Amino acid sequence: MTEAGTAEAPTPDAPIVELRDVTRSFPGPPEVQALKSINLTVSAGEYVTIVGPSGSGKSTMLNLLGLLDRPSVGEYYLNGQLTTQLDENERAAVRATTIGFVFQAFHLMPHRTVLDNVLMPMLYSGVPRAEREDRAHDALRRVGLSHRLDFQPGTLSGGERQRVAVARAVVSTPRLLLADEPTGNLDQTTSGEVMELFEELNADGLTLVIITHDDAIAKRAPRTIRISDGRLSEVA
């Protein structure tokens, strides 16, 4: 922290994600250690999948990486910035400007248009008002939905809704995109199309971490990490 009480500036050449001896425990009885002495480094531009069965610690990992939860022990550096000492407002500000999220359940506003859904995160991420509509149009063009701007999510297919969610996640140009079971509600063909979209974004330089139970999805990434009983291991 600086003397003024604001968050420290990120370190330009630091990894995007660095977990140092992170444990996350939940009180009992008995106490449960969902993550156990985790060490993880993800460099800028990497494409990583974290794969494991239900109950392995995947959701806890996502919540920590996304600044939705805090480690019980250890340190989390995001883009070179120590996050474990930030207060909730500072964490929210870092989250809004640095991280994009895509979830299995889409989490779109059902009674707002596709365009409104993509405009919404820019209210919190510091994008100047004059740029927001152009950015939203560009993001929707990127995911192939320029023809759906005025539609509501309930009128779209599952694959289209997930594409809206991807556009919403990247419209504020985050450094890191976290995807939690992003193909879980999609058929095989649509899943492949959404994964290709993620991979195009990664090819353009976006750091991508996908959390999944699906080995076929996990194997698409150059780097796969298996999580089991709260511990990580690299998959050769």
6 pLDDT more than 60: no
Of 111 and 6, more confident: 111
Set out the domains of the chain in order of their start, with CATH numbers. Answer: 17-235 (3.40.50.300)
Of 21 and 104, more confident: 21
- Sole residue written with tokens 């009992």: 28
Contact 195, 203 (CB under 8 A): no
17 beta partners: 42, 78
- Sole residue written with tokens 């600044």: 67
112 pLDDT more than 90: yes
What one-letter code names the amino acid at 3?
A: E
Which pair of tokens denotes residue 192? 């492949």
Q: In what order do the strands lie in the sheet with 207-212?
A: 99-103, 176-180, 207-212, 47-51, 223-228, 231-235
66 — pLDDT class (breaks 50, 70, 90): very high
Neighbours of 105 (CB within 10 A): 12
| Burial state string for 53-64 with b = 16 or more CB within 10 A and e = fewer than 16 | eeebbbbbbbbb
